[in-house]
Amino acid sequence: MNTKLITANPAEVETECLIAFALDHGEDHGENKKPEPRLAVKDPAVEKAVADLIASGEISGKPFETVLLHRPQGLKAKRLLVVSCGKARSFTHVELRKGAGTALRTLKPKMIKSCAFTLPELSSGAEDAGRAIVEGAFVADLDPDTYRSDRKDYSTQEITVVAPAGSDQAKLQSAVDRARIIAESQNFTRGLVNEPSNRLTPTMLADRAQKMCDSVGLKCEIMGPDKIKALKMGAFWSVAQGSDEEPRLIVMRYEPQGAPEKPVLGLIGKGITFDTGGISIKPAEGMEKMKYDMAGGAAMIGAMRAIALLKPKVKVISIVCASENMPSGKAQKPGDVQIAMSGKSIEVINTDAEGRLVLADGLHYARTLGCTHLIDAATLTGAVVVALGYANAGVFANDDDAYKHFTQALDRSGEKFWRMPLDAEYGDMIRSNIADIMNTGGRWGGAITAAMFLKEFVEDTPWLHLDIAGTAWMEENKSWIAKGPSGIAVRSLVEWVKSYEAGK
């Protein structure tokens, strides 16, 4: 998809479809709330073209309703699409991103291959609006029907962002370019997560990471069983040993010239390309979904792509532990004791709690490579879905400053994470009789005991843990994004890294 930025009068833009956003300016007065929809772009010609529509009540202002008008009077555009984005009072880049996505996904099946977005007024500024539109449009353009033989190429060819006269063209262009990098990286992640496990084994995931690194100029090192065993990654290997597919330890490095020696940010991802549960095997129903158990790893690969292209002045090392979790004659069994790379002994109560095992060694390895701040992402527990549902992902932090950086990142990414506790009491739940710790902590607080397990391996290094089990795969279509892999965490990871740039 091509992206163009122009400064023009919206009425003069010749396009297949001009897009304008509408907001509800009506105040809530209990039962008598009256919608007062108004366009979010100040342009007399466009306002005139929708005057009748607004008078008719067909534009409600309700979030993400659309009205398509052909041959709008007084405009050079062939069509005008009005997308409602909710209350004017609460309108931010978050709603705009969804509104832009909704516009694109409304036009896509109609085979409308190009469109032009008017830039709405946003309190955070025009650059933020341009960023949200481009991110929303690129994410909306991707559909997961990769292997359907009746697949039609509905993809949009070109979007234009129409900036009003007097806007800072250079700054807007840079915002648009950067937004495109981030959204394409999120889509890169979504493409990986979408792949079934026979088409994305740990070896193939590593190949894809290697190719991505080659194309953007990142250093990439891929290690197999011998190196994993030589590094004494007993926890990682205990998961990998049950599969005929070899595991891969993927290490991607971004070390830009002029970056300070510290911090070194460590991005660690769970890359289980299929999770059967192992000997503690999962029920058949829904097991096919466990192809997305590498979404944390894929988020790191996507984030590293964006980081390499955006070039922040800060060092980043990313580690993805890629493996299958299979039952077999070679598989580990409940009760087995494993020694992690850090030297800690682990009693494996449930072989289905494999994510924390591979991450234990990934996190420890990141520390040995000199990482000063750690962040991991993993589809780690069903329990986080019980706790937070599908609306929020879980975030855990052992350090308030690192968490503060993350909340700043969320403000920009628009993604939703909710902080969960890490009190010492939960640690008692994973004490073992035979070893230092167990890999499960009983029925209650499962997302927290999983995080407490990881905490054992980060020790005093500032660390964040993102549990994305409920948010990495969407069961329902939204008007702004197709159901399937969401690409959650990519944008927040990139913003988190940027927040550590020298001088920030």
- Ranges of beta strands (E only) in 227-353 are 248-254, 264-275, 315-325, 337-339, 345-347
**Closer CB to ligand BES, residue 74 or residue 382?**
382
Nearest approach in angstroms of CB 101 to ligand BES is: 24
Nearest approach in angstroms of CB 163 to Zn ion is: 45
User: Stretches 2-10, 23-31, 199-207, 349-357: which one binds Mn ion (CB under 5 A)?
Assistant: 349-357
Task: Give the Cα separation of 364 and 344 in Å (integer).
Answer: 11
**Closer CB to Zn ion, residue 357 or residue 409?**
357
Is the sign of the CA dihedral 166, 170, 173, 179 positive or negative?
A: negative
Whether 33 sits among the annotated catalytic residues: the reply is: no
- Catalytic residue, candidates 282, 313, 344, 478: 282
Contacted by 381, from ligand BES, Zn ion, Mn ion, none: CB < 5 to 8 Å by type = ligand BES
- Assess 324 for contact with Zn ion (CB under 5 A): no
Nearest approach in angstroms of CB 16 to ligand BES is: 40
User: Stretches 140-148, 205-213, 240-248, 264-272: which one binds Zn ion (CB under 5 A)?
Assistant: 264-272
**Closer CB to Mn ion, residue 15 or residue 273?**
273
Nearest approach in angstroms of CB 76 to Zn ion is: 54
Q: How many helices (H) and strands (E) does the chain have?
A: 14, 20
- Catalytic residue, candidates 356, 367, 491, 498: 356
Considering only residues 24, 143, 184, 275, which one is a binding residue for Mn ion as defined by CB under 5 A? 275
Nearest approach in angstroms of CB 394 to ligand BES is: 12
DSSP-derived secondary structure for 249-285: EEEEEE--TT--S--EEEEEEEEEEEE--TTSPPPST
Which residues of the shown chain bind ligand BES in the complex (CB under 6 A)?
275, 293, 350, 352-355, 379-383, 440, 446, 469
User: Stretches 17-25, 98-106, 351-359, 399-407: which one binds Mn ion (CB under 5 A)?
Assistant: 351-359
- Assess 184 for contact with Mn ion (CB under 5 A): no
Decide: helix, strand or coil at residue 378.
strand
C-alpha distances (whole Å) from 14 to each of 6, 141, 483 are: 12, 22, 33
* Amino acid identity, position 220: C
Residue with tokens 């997560």: 193
Q: Which residues, in sequence order, are CB contacts of 17 under 8 Å at separation 6+?
A: 68, 77, 78, 79, 80, 81, 107, 112, 114, 115, 116
Nearest approach in angstroms of CB 237 to Mn ion is: 16
Whether 282 sits among the annotated catalytic residues: the reply is: yes
**Closer CB to ligand BES, residue 267 or residue 358?**
358
What angle, 0 to 180 degrees and rounded to 10, lies between the N-to-C axes of helices 446-458 and 355-368? 30
CA triple 183-189-194, angle to 5 deg: 125
Contacts (CB under 5 A) with Zn ion, residues 289-318:
293
Nearest approach in angstroms of CB 308 to ligand BES is: 28
Torsions phi, psi for 101 (to 5 deg): -65, -40
Contacts (CB under 5 A) with Zn ion, residues 346-365:
355
The closest alpha carbon to 352, from 413, 422, 439, 266, belongs to 439
Q: Are strands 264-275 and 114-118 parallel, antiparallel or unpaired?
A: unpaired
Nearest approach in angstroms of CB 387 to Mn ion is: 17
Considering only residues 127, 324, 352, 467, which one is a binding residue for Mn ion as defined by CB under 5 A? 352
**Closer CB to ligand BES, residue 260 or residue 335?**
335
Q: Which residues, in sequence order, are CB contacts of 36 under 8 Å at separation 6+?
A: 24, 25, 26, 61
Contacted by 350, from Zn ion, ligand BES, Mn ion, none: CB < 5 to 8 Å by type = ligand BES
**Closer CB to ligand BES, residue 159 or residue 340?**
340
**Closer CB to Mn ion, residue 275 or residue 415?**
275
Task: Give the Cα separation of 321 and 294 in Å (integer).
Answer: 9
Considering CB under 5 A, how many residues would be counted as binding Zn ion? 4
- Assess 324 for contact with Mn ion (CB under 5 A): no
**Closer CB to ligand BES, residue 380 or residue 481?**
380
Task: Give the Cα separation of 354 and 361 in Å (integer).
Answer: 12
Annotated catalytic residues are 282, 356
Q: Name the site residues for Zn ion (rule: CB under 5 A).
A: 272, 275, 293, 355
Q: Name the site residues for Mn ion (rule: CB under 5 A).
A: 275, 352, 354
